[in-house]
Amino acid sequence: MKMFADTGSWAAIFDRTDPWHQRAVAAFDSWLTEATSVYTSDYVIAETITFLVSHRSHHVAVEFGRSVRRSPNVRVVHVDEELWRGAWELFQRYDDKEFSFTDCTSFVIMREFKLIDVFGFDHHFEQMGFRLWPR
């Protein structure tokens, strides 16, 4: 199985006060028993670290970063010039949506790597035709 992990899912795993915490942890634990390849981006990681340091603590943000770096299942895609341009095109085109620029980079990465499932809770992914997981 291959999927993309969004900020909301990472934050839910590491923020015990998050309403999605238990579902996110259970889903994450299931990756360890399956051969799941998890894609995420440097933008998503930066967004998650920023969220965790402001809503939880520096310690929790560091714990998240270390966990992602150590995980053999996680592949971090770095947003290069080509991905950035594609995200910018999407961002400009969808002025009727509330997509963040990071959302748009994620959409482009998912298309690039032919991913349809996203570990997350953000309905914007569904608006772009992707499937939220866990369902």
pLDDT at 35 over 80: no
pLDDT value of residue 33 = 64
Q: Which domain holds residue 12?
A: 2-133
pTM of the predicted model as reported, rounded to 2 decimal places: 0.92
More confident position, 135 or 103: 103
- 120, 122, 125: which is closest to 24 by C-alpha? 120
Q: Could you give the number of structural domains in the chain?
A: 1
Report how far Cα 84 is from the mean position of its chain's Cα atoms: 16
Mind listing the pLDDT tens digit for each residue in 53-94?
Answer: 999 999 999 999 999 999 888 999 999 999 999 999 999 999
Whose tokens are 């990681």? That residue is: 45
Average pLDDT over residues 32-51: 90
More confident position, 32 or 87: 87
CATH number, domain with residue 78: 3.40.50.1010
pLDDT at 48 over 80: yes
Q: Please check whether residue 71 is in contact with residue 39, taking contact to mean a CB–CB distance below 8 angstroms.
A: no
